[in-house]
Structure formats: C-alpha cells, structure tokens
Structure 1
Amino acid sequence: MPDWSYQTLFRPLLFRLPGRIARSFTLGAIGTLSRLPLGSFVIRTLGHMEPAPLLRSKIGGVELATPVGLAGSADPAGTAHRAMAQFGFGFIELGPVMAEPLAAGEVSPGAGAAPIRLDAARERIVYPAYAEHAGGGAAAAAAAAAARLAKPGHALPQLVRLTPLPGSTPEQALPQLLPMMRQLRQAGAAGFFMDALQQPLDPHGTAWLLEQLRIAARQAEPNLQDALLFLYIPHDAGDSRLAEILQAIDLTAWTGAVIGESRSPDTGELVLDPQDKHSCLAKLRLLRELPTKPAVDFTLIAAAGIYEPQDALDTIEAGASYVMLHAGLVFAGPGLPKRVNEAILHEKVKQLPAPEPVSFWRHWGWMCLLGIGMILGGLLAWMIAATTVLLPYDEAFLGLKRDALHHINHRLLHFMSHDRITLAGTMISIGVLYYQLSRYGLQFSIHWARITLLVSCTFGFLSFFLYLGYGYFDPLHAMVAIILLPMFLLSMRKNPDRPFRGAVNLRNDAVWRRAMYGQCCMVALGFALVIGSITISGFGITKVFVPQDLSYMDTTAAQLRAANPHLVPLIAHDRAGFGGALFSDALALLIMSLWGLQQGQRWLWWTYLLGGSPAFIAAFTVHMHIGYTDFVHLSPAVFALALYIGGLVLLYPYLMPRLRRRSQ
C-alpha cells in the first residue's frame, strides 16, 4: 500500500469506515501480504525503501538501519510488524506494556465500547484509552509481549515501553516494572522506554522510582546492564516539575529520553494531534538546556507530532537524534518513513564534499549512446515502415516482391506497416527513456536509475528470442543487438551507488497529494503496458492475429497461410518483436514511476513527455492513416493515453515547480 495507492484509493475508503474496523482491516491486510509467498518481494518492489548506508547508526551497542522508529500504539498487537519492518523503519516499539492484562473499564471508562475518533480535517486521532489492545480491550500483558519479542518475524531492534498499572504509587510501580524488565530482556528486548512520568507528576515519588530503576538496571541486574534505558516523557508534561525530576536523577546512567504520547489525566484517552509537535520541540529544548545537562551521548527521540518530513527535521534541529511515527502514518501513508529517511539523508549529504565526477566512457556515456542508437534505429524503422514496408531480406524470405502482396490482400501491406510503425515509435520511446535515465540518473550514480536500466535492457535483449518463435531470423535486428549489447554491458560495469543530492519532498501539501494521483496514473499505465505487452507477445508466438485484425483485412489466417506459408511467420515476427519492445519500455516506465519521483526533478517530467509521445503518436497516426479504427482494438490505447495525459497534468506542479524570479 504505497502512498500513491493509499492517498488515491485506500484512504478515501478507509476514512469512511469506523476507526477500529479501518485499523484492523489495514493492519490485517498488510500483515497477511507479508506472510504470503513473495509477499515481502511485492512490498519491497512497490516501495523500494532500502535505506542508504549513511543512515546507519548505533545507540549503545544496538545497530539501527535508519533513525525512524514505529510507535507501539500504531500497531498494538504487532499484526503488521513483519511488513512494516520493510517500510524504512530502523527500530520498532512494543507497548505500552503493563504487568497484568486489564479489563477495558480499568484502562478507561467505556473504552471497550467507545470508538476510535478520527478528525480528518484536523488530522487528529482520539483513542478511548492510552494503552489499549488492537481490539479495544486491555493493554497487552508482559507475557504476551514476551511471546511477540521471541518471534518477531523481522530483524529490527525492539524496544518496549513499560508503564505501571493505572493508579499505582511509585512504591507499587517498582515491583511491577522490574520483573517485566527481566522477562522481556530475556525474550529479546533491546531496551526499554520507562513510561513512569504520566500526569499528574509527583516530583519526589517519580524521581525515587526512576533512581531505583536505574540502580537495578545498571548495578543489581547483570542481564540489564547493557540494555538501552530511556525515560519516556509525555510531550505535555509540566516543564517546572519535569525539570525538578530530571535534576534529581542521575541522567548519565540513562541512554536517553523519548518525548512521546500522553495520557489524559481526566479521561485516560490518548489524543494525537499535529499541535503535539510544538510541545515536543519545547521538551527537546528543555532537555538540552538543563542546568545539569545530560551526557553528550544522551540520545533524544521525538515521538509526538511527526506528520511529515519537515516535522522530523524540526525535531532533529531541536536536539532529537531519532523520530517515531504513529498518526503521521494514518494521514500521510505508509511511505512516510521513506520520505523522512530521504529528508534526513538529504541533510547529511549536504554536509559531505561533492563526489568525483563519474567518467563518461567508463559508466553513463555508453548508455547515452545506446539510447541515441535506439532513437536513430526507431526513426529509420519508421521511415521504412511508412514507405517500402518490406526490406530485401523480408522479400527473400517470402519469395515475393512487395507489389505481389497486393494480389494476396489489398490491406496486407497496410497491416504490416501498422505493426512496424508502432514498433518504431516504441523504439524511439525506449531510446529517449534510456538517454534521460543515463544523462540524469546513471551519471549521478542514482540506484533506482541503474536498476531501471538493468531490468529494462535485460528483458529488451532477451526479447530477441521472441523473433525466432515462428522460425524467422531477422538479420538487421540481430546486427543491432550485437552492436548495442556491449554498450549496455559497459554502462553497467563498476557503477557505484551514491546518495541522491537533489531536493526532496518535505510537506504533505496539496501539490504532493495531487502528485500521488499523478503517480498512480503513471504506475497504472506501467502495469497496463506490461500486461498489454505480454498479451501481444503471446499472440505473436501463438495465434498471431486477434479477430479485429482478420476483420480489418477481411480474410482468415488459413487463407494467408495458403497464399504463402512464410507470410504468417513474418507477421508473427513483427508482433512478437513489438510485444518484446513494449515490455522493455513498460518496465522502464513502471520502475521509474514506482521509485524515481522526487519533487522538483524537472527532467523526470520531460522524460515522461518526450519518452511517451513517440509511441502514442506512432500508434494513433498509423491506425488513422490506414483506416484501422476498430473501437475494441483501439480502446486499450485510448485508456493508456488517458492515464498518460492525466499523469502528466497531475505531476506537472510537483515535478515542474515555478521558478522564483530574481529580485531586480
């Protein structure tokens, strides 16, 4: 469920459902997909969320692939953790976990019956209980959390948020928390978020409890000495009392602090609101400005009010090293971790020196030449298909001259011309895509551009074997393949991946939301062309003709075979070749649309426009010219054109931002 499908298809439907049903359906569907054969491959392919090495870090001895975590209350039962571990998260929180399971009424009055309230306009979520099970019941007990820790279904570090039972005094909380720490550490917890500072704050009692936990974890319990130990601070905790508590405890013994979610002292509800970011920022600054400052390696995690990448950058500027997501996933979509990672990576890359220029001849230049070769080859093929149609070796294979085909069927040459011109237009489109991806992607060692070219070219060269399906060997195509193949191999050799240095999207604004519809159009077009190309290739090496083809020529396949036994194999060669070229073109378009869209990358919009136009122009002009205007035959092309135009229009503001005029 990438953002382009979530924002356009799923979110409008899910937001019409009751909150609990929408959450259960979403998490259940994602979790089920991750457990299916090839499910993880589908998630990775649609999202391409593999984090860059520059994002890796360590907290204590725990390695994190990214600085983005998943809040425990986003998926209380861990239904979709296996899937979400592939969304770009670096760690996952479990909890809040209590020592014992509670009845719904003990968590919050009426929590079992009360709905999850969602205000889409204000991007606000109200849970009836601070610590509730996915089904609306009790908070997960330590035993259930231990079972999940032992078999997580993923490799990400897991940190557990521990909270005392409601109404517990500090003296009562200590014997609840310590046994849970031992049990969950043994089950595999990398560390703990100690949620002992909920409102109303008791400075003396809370400080005593935290000191006792610190002494037990760092001195009395050998199994806990290397566990990560974080204070969990509600974002709305009173500053004066919080400062009093923090100055009364030994912060150097703690790994860090999480500025996170807050329980309403009156209703027990958990309220998530974009405005939480402001109090989160204030708490981050308070911790950094304490008279008794924490240690230099005291790690801060922001877990409140992160709805868009800019929010994450704001908290990092205020002192956080890591962020955790919850409500932002609901309103922005599952691509938010990737977008946050890209924003953080962009800030890191800006501090690095510019890399050495990549050699033209060693890397990207060969692919540029391959693209130019495809464009020139397509233009030549178009010219031949629009004039003589047949080449000398075609006539030699048939044993007939061009004029003799008119006596077999007066529309036969027109039909063959239509196949060859559509192939020529597709070749030009491929050439444009390859040139652009090389010039603006491969030259800068962008990973997704290299993968796009690798996949598309590989299938493009393999499609040569489709030409042999009916026993017709095309010497010209073979010669072109022999010339272009070394260019492809040379462009792929020792080509490193480097972090993207362009600007990235930071806001969930109207331009971004509109672009999600545009991306959806282009992805749908890519999938449609993949299916269409497979269908065309399949017909090319089996039945050759669809009913509309034979109706246009007013003949049958048997009559054509009777007229000349080599005629159908020649047409099959054209069809299969066109299907193979279209498949290669579709793969490039699809991968580019899935992985490559970044705000302000003007070259991408021009690549869509210049890369798609030749194929559509060739397809429609030749059909109009020869009078092959059957609605059923042209309807897939019309549908594809509608997606193409819609994608271009919707993506224009995102990819082609207005340039500010220079001040006079």
Structure 2
Amino acid sequence: MLYEKLARPVLFRIGRGDAEKAHHSTLTMLEHVSDNRIIRQSMIKANQVYAPVTVAGVKFPNPIGLAAGMDKNGVAIGAWPALGFGFAEVGTVTWHPQPGNPQPRLFRLPGSQALINRMGFNNDGAQALAARLAISPPVNCPIGVSIGKSKITPLEEATSDYLESMRVLYRFADYFAVNVSSPNTPGLRSLQGAEQMRELLGALRAESESLAAGRPERPIFVKIAPDLTEPAIAELLEVCQDTGVTGVIATNTTLGRDGVLQQEESIAAEPGGLSGAPLRSISRAVVEFVHRETDGKMPIIGSGGVMSPDHAQSLFDAGASLVQLYSGLVYSGPSLVRRSARRAKRARRHRRAQPRR
C-alpha cells in the first residue's frame, strides 16, 4: 500500500510521457543498493522469504523470480535478492551491443495494469555483461541469463549469434533462457518453427555439454510466445524434448490487445508486446497446456499477468515450478515479491499437511 500511495505516483510523475525514464531512475536506485554491501545484506535479512525449491538441479531460496527485461545489463544484480527475489533473470542480451528501437518505446496503461514495450533488445552486449558479472559481488540467489539474436545478424546466422553469447556467459549463468519470442526484433518469432528450433536448440545443447566439461550442464529454458496455437506449442515441446532442453518459460509478451480498457485503446494501438494483467489468463492457459502435454515432467517457469500473490499461485496450480514478475513489480511494488513467496510457502505446507489417499 505504501508503494502504491507514495512511491508509484512519484515514479509515474518522473516518467510522465516517458515511462522509460522512470525505469532508468528505478534501476539507478537499485544499482546503489547492489553496490552497498551493508544496505544489501540488511535488506536481504528483512525481505528474503525462505521457501526453498530445487528445479532442474538448481537450488532456489524461493520460487519467485525477476523476469528478463528489467535489468538487461545486470547493473543491479545484487539488489534483486535484497528485494526478496529467489532468482533473477538478466537480459535479454545479444552478442552485438545494440541501442534497440527508437524512443519512445515503453508505454503504461495504468487502468488496465499493463505495459507495452518495443524496446528491441537494447543492451550493452554479451561481452559487456560477462565483464560486469565477473566483478559483481556474490549474489544470494541463482542468476538466469536470457539470450537473443542481434538485430544485425541475419536469421540464417542466428544460431552462431546465440552460441557466441552462451560461450562468454556460461560460467556466470545458473541457467539460460533462449528468447525466440520477442515481437520486437524483426523475424525473431520465425525461429519458433520446428526446423529452426531443432537446429538452434541442438547446437546450444551440444555447446552446453562441451562447456560443462563433465560437470553438470546449465539448464536451458525456451521462452515461448503466448500467441502460438496449441498445435504449434506441442510441436515446439516435441523439439525441446528431442534435443534435451530443460524446460520452457511461459510466456513472453503478446501482440494481442484483449483485456485492455476502452479508454486506453489509443495507447494500446502502439506497436509492441503487451504485458501485465491482460496476459494473466493467456499465460495460465499456456502453462496448463505445457504441463498437461508433457505429463508434468518438463519444468515450467510461469510468467505473465502476475499482479497479486493469488495470481502467482494460480500459475503454480497450473503446473509452474517457478514464477516470474515484471509488470506486477511496476504496479504493485516490491512487497509483491515477499507476499507471493509467502503465499507459495503456505500453499506448499497445506499440500504437505493433506492426508494421502
């Protein structure tokens, strides 16, 4: 409530007409938290909810994580566990540094509790992220790295682009997210086709095995679009299983505009991916489908439309092993992290207390 009454109005005023400005202001504050060991440790003590879970061999302090896109360059890496997150995903990062799409490229729809972005993978590049992570202080939670295709790289050379990023970042990542579903890089979503995915994921798995050098490999998750049909998702899942990919992240932003309030339709007409509350039912349906299609054997990171602890729990109930936040953090503030982790912890205790039949 304090965030919604005090902090959010200030941030929204800072970014009036330019939501990206507020984003950078927030990230700068969190960078200071990340760099100050005393503040960081005191916040971890106050905010961290211990509800441990192991997914794909990785131990998470709790199952609530930060989605990719908030901290593309890993500048606030130490701040995320200080806010209570059980893991954080940095990126999406590309092999070549790139400025992204022209501004403005981030828009708020506060009545709909949604965001539209067409950022276009703006980032400093994989080598710069690796250099930053190499000197970052130890982080109290797993770090995922989301990798994508550089805009200047032709689609037919996409695989080598992803491989280069994986190579320089492998020792710093606890898992990799393969982003082939952003709507803001021309042609990127075409990589979700079965033939293209088989080539890309097969190459990444082979490279991961080589880089692991006999040690446990880094898990690989594929981030999928919410706009895919169920047959297309089923085909993609088959490729994931055939290539030995760990799991999926469901879902990325949507090109659809269902659920947007009528008075915000003019903003909704901006091109880009929609995230936030309108995505909730779609992401849950995709999580449920993936869980059913794989007989619950494939780990799923649920993402999309989590604006309350109950929304996070609904993704767990649908079959997600972990859940990520982004837009919910913008609208509900950092307390959403703690409250969602506590809700998940209570639900787990309740299930354990139920008599077995």
Query: TM tier, shorter chain?
Result: 0.7 to 0.9
CA distance in 2, matches of 1:150, 1:345: 33
Among 80, 86, 96, the residue aligned to 2:76: 80
- Indicate the residue corresponding to 1:250 in structure 2: 241
1:274-320 Cα shifts (integer Å, max 9, x gaps): 12121211211221232xx3672x21101211111111111111110
Q: Residues of 2 paired with 1:194 and 1:36: CA distance?
A: 31
Instruction: Tell me which protein shows more strand as a share of its residues.
Output: 2
* Residues 1:66 and 1:250: Cα distance change in structure 2 (over 3 Å): same
**Aligned-partner Cα distance in 2 for 1:85–1:206:** 33
> How do 1:372-411 residues align onto structure 2 when only pairs under 5 Å count?
none
Distance (whole Å) between structure 1 residues aligned to residue 227 and residue 52 of structure 2: 30
SS for the counterpart of 1:230 is strand
Question: 1:8, CA displacement in angstroms?
Answer: 2.2
Counterparts of 2:128 and 2:83, CA distance in 1: 25
Q: 1:247 to 1:43 in 2, by over 3 A?
A: closer
* 1:15 maps onto 2:12 in alignment: yes
Change (3 A) 1:79 1:182: closer
Q: Deviations over 1:551-599 (max 9, x none)?
A: xxxxxxxxxxxxxxxxxxxxxxxxxxxxxxxxxxxxxxxxxxxxxxxxx
**What amino acid maps onto 1:269 in structure 2?**
G
Alignment of 1:318-357 (within 5 A): 318-353=318-353
Q: TM-score, normalised by structure 1?
A: 0.46
The question of whether the paired residues in 2 share the 8 Å contact of 1:235 and 1:304 is answered with no
In the TM superposition, residue 353 of structure 1 has moved relative to its aligned partner by 4.3
Percent identity over the alignment?
A: 23
List alignment gaps of at least 5 residues for structure 2.
Answer: 182-187, 257-268
Structure 2 counterpart of 1:14, one-letter code = L
Aligned to 1:349, the other structure's residue is in SS state helix
Matched, 1:143 2:127: yes
Which structure 2 residues correspond to residues 373-452 of structure 1 after superposition, within 5 A?
none
Secondary structure of the equivalent of 2:162? helix
Kept after mapping to 2: 8 A contact 1:217/1:225: no
Deviation at 1:178, TM superposition (A): 1.4
- Please name the residue that 1:165 is paired with: 150
Q: State the distance in 2 between where 1:71 and 1:223 align.
A: 30
Tell me the residue number matched to 2:260: none
Question: In the TM superposition, what is the alpha-carbon distance from 1:25 to its structure 2 partner?
Answer: 2.0
CA distance change for structure 1 residues 155 and 279 in 2, over 3 Å: closer, same or farther?
same
Q: Equivalent residues in 2 for 1:212-291 (5 A)? A: 212-218=203-209, 222=213, 226-251=217-242, 253-262=244-253, 269-290=272-293
State the AA in 2 paired with 1:116. L
Name 2:54's counterpart in structure 1: 58
Structure 2 vs 1, CA of residues 123 and 249 (structure 1 numbering), >3 Å: closer, same or farther? closer
- Counterpart code for 1:63: K
Equivalent residues in 2 for 1:244-643, closer than 5 Å: 244-251=235-242, 253-262=244-253, 269-290=272-293, 293=294, 296=297, 298-353=298-353
* Counterpart position of 2:107: 117
d(CA) in 2 for partners of 1:177, 1:268: 26
The 8 Å contact of residues 130 and 268 in structure 1, kept in 2 or not, is answered as no
Secondary structure of the residue aligned to 2:78 is: helix
- Aligned match for 2:179, one of 195, 211, 214: 195
CA distance in 2, matches of 1:219, 1:43: 38
Structure 2: distance between partners of 1:91 and 1:76: 15
**Residue number in structure 2 paired with 1:24:** 24
| 1:268–1:140 Cα change, 3 Å | farther
| 1:339-361 per-position Cα deviation (integer Å, ceiling 9, x unaligned) | 0011101111223449xxxxxxx
CA–CA separation in structure 1 for the residues paired with 2:168 and 2:75: 22
- State the AA in 1 paired with 2:281: H
SS in 2 for 1:75: coil
One-letter amino acid of the structure 1 residue matched with residue 164 of structure 2: P
- Determine if contact 1:171/1:209 at 8 Å carries over to the other structure: no
> Which structure has the greater CA radius of gyration?
1
Deviations 1:69-115 (A, max 9, x none): 1112122233433222112211111111111012x4xx33xx2x315
AA aligned to 2:128 is A
Partner of 2:116: 126
Q: CA 1:16 to 1:143, structure 2 compared with 1: closer, same or farther past 3 Å?
A: same
The answer on 1:155 being equivalent to 2:140 is yes
Given that residues 50 and 88 in structure 1 are in contact (C-alpha distance below 8 angstroms), is that contact kept between their aligned partners in structure 2?
yes
2:72 touches 2:93 (CA, 8 Å); kept in 1?
Answer: no
Higher RCO, Cα 8 Å, sep 6+: 2
Q: Decide whether aligned partners of structure 1 residues 152 and 90 sit closer, same or farther in structure 2, where only a CA change above 3 A counts.
A: farther
SS in 1 for 2:88: strand
What letter is aligned with 2:4?
A: Q
User: How far apart, in 1, do the equivalents of 2:104 and 2:166 lie?
Assistant: 31
Shift of 1:183: 1.2
Q: Is the 8 A contact 1:218 1:253 kept in 2?
A: no
- Hey, what's the Cα distance between the residues in 2 that align with 1:308 and 1:87? 16
Aligned to 1:175: 160
The residue identity in structure 2 corresponding to 1:332 is: S
> Take 1:346 and 1:258, find their aligned partners in 2: how far apart are those partners?
24
The whole-number CA distance in structure 2 between the counterparts of 1:318 and 1:199 is 25
Give ranges in structure 1 of 5+ residues lacking alignment: 133-138, 355-664
For 1:216 and 1:27, how far apart are their aligned partners in 2? 33
Tell me, in whole angstroms, the C-alpha distance in 2 between the residues paired with 1:43 and 1:86.
5
Which digits, 9 at most, give the CA deviation of each residue in 1:518-564, with x for residues without a partner?
Answer: xxxxxxxxxxxxxxxxxxxxxxxxxxxxxxxxxxxxxxxxxxxxxxx
Give the corresponding residue for 2:184.
Answer: none
**SS of residue in 1 equivalent to 2:73:** coil
Aligned counterparts of 2:343 and 2:86: Cα–Cα separation in 1:
15
Paired amino acid for 1:49: N
* Matched positions, count: 331
Residue identity matched to 2:300 = L
Distance in 2 between residues matched to 1:228 and 1:90, nearest whole Å: 17
